[in-house]
Amino acid sequence: MALRHLRYFTAIVQWKGYREASRRLHAAQPAISQTVSDLERELELKLFSRAKRAAKGEIGKLSIGFLGSSKGS
């Protein structure tokens, strides 16, 4: 287990999400996500219940907008 794994995990908890942890650590979100996945695999447990519930539509919000043509007839 690398120190980076624990640092990323604690940053996500401290700043309550991947986006803010990414910004504060100056690291890409996919890199943080992959590191946490590696840590979960190594510990053989899930640290966060994230994408599965969102993918099923159980949590989160999706907004769709439409902007018609700006050309007048």
Task: Return the closest-CA partner of residue 11 out of 1, 21, 22, 26.
Answer: 21
In whole angstroms, give the CA distance from residue 55 to residue 53: 5
pLDDT digits (tens, 9 = 90+) for 31-68: 999 999 999 999 999 888 767 666 677 777 767 777 77
pLDDT, residue 60, reads 73
Amino acid at 5: H
What secondary structure letter does DSSP report for 56? T
The arithmetic mean of pLDDT across residues 19-37, rounded, is 93
In whole angstroms, give the CA distance from residue 25 to residue 6: 13
Go through the domains of the chain in sequence order and give each one's CATH number: 3-55 (1.10.10.10)
Q: Residue count of the chain, please give it.
A: 73
